[in-house]
A and B are shown apart, each in its own frame.
Chain A
Amino acid sequence: MIRVVVSAAPIDVGAEIVALDGLGGGAVATFTGLVRDDGGVGELLLEHYPGATEAALETLAAEAVARWKLAGAAVVHRVGVMTPGEPIVFVAACATHRSAALAACGFLIDRLKTDAPFWKRETRGGEARWVGERAGDHHAAAKWR
């Protein structure tokens, strides 16, 4: 099972996890990214490239399923306007054992950061600023190649 969702709707993390519980694997690993306050962020806007985003996430999920022989993988990313504390991204992997589930989960979030066309814009005190890329994200993604 591959589940890819890009939506402005809030992410229901509980429901997403339950969906993977029913696949017959022995291990489900998940990662949830939350919007950070980072010392005064009032709101975060997520822009994306419709069509290309979903295709990139489908490719990543399929690669994870093939590489770790997963029973299922989920990649859910929110877009639009959100506030600190809200889930912005959720990835999960269901496998026979924990090592594959944990590794696949790490792969999905690390590679999503560099391979999917999303852009963040923070607003602090009424002033909006596009977020720059982080070199560390490329190092994290490169370790899976």
Chain B
Amino acid sequence: MDVLYFAWVREGVGKAQERVDPPGDVVTVADLIDWLGHEVLRDKAKLRAAIDQRFVSLDTAIAGAREVAIFPPVTGG
């Protein structure tokens, strides 16, 4: 699956996206964040996520996802 990063998450990870193949025990978005292991992702309370371009909570399962995005709370408008 592709993992996309935005705003300060993107800057902290050092890239806008990466293709990963997590093992079977990585079940939820939160598991994926831990497995990715990027320092900037350590405080999950500051992170939001989307699966296949829909906002989800971090306890959502990633099974079947083509694209998971990880980003800070949104600040548009």
Residues of chain A at the chain B interface (Cβ within 8 Å):
33, 46-49, 51-52, 55, 77, 88-89, 109, 112-121, 130-134, 137
Asked whether, in the complex, the Cβ of A49 is within 8 Å of the Cβ of B76, the reply is: no
B interface, how many residues as a size bin? 10 to 19
Total number of residue pairs linking A and B with CB closer than 8 Å: 68
Alpha-carbon gap, A130 to B10, bound state (A): 12
Asked whether, in the complex, the Cβ of B6 is within 8 Å of the Cβ of A89, the reply is: no
Q: Contacts of B77 on A, CB cut-off 8 Å? A: 33, 77, 88-89, 109, 112-113, 116, 118, 137
Partner of A119, one of B6, B50, B54, B55: B6
Main secondary structure of the interface of A (DSSP, over half): mixed
Asked whether, in the complex, the Cβ of A52 is within 8 Å of the Cβ of B76, the reply is: no
Please give the distance in Å from A144's CB to the nearest CB on chain B: 14
Partner of B76, one of A116, A121, A132: A116
Residues of chain B at the chain A interface (Cβ within 8 Å):
4, 6-8, 50, 53-55, 69, 71-77
Asked whether, in the complex, the Cβ of B74 is within 8 Å of the Cβ of A77, the reply is: no
Residue of A nearest to B8 (CB): A130
Most B CB within 10 A of own CB, among A117, A132, A134: A117
Asked whether, in the complex, the Cβ of A119 is within 8 Å of the Cβ of B74, the reply is: yes
Please give the distance in Å from A142's CB to the nearest CB on chain B: 15
Partner of B74, one of A51, A55, A89, A114: A114
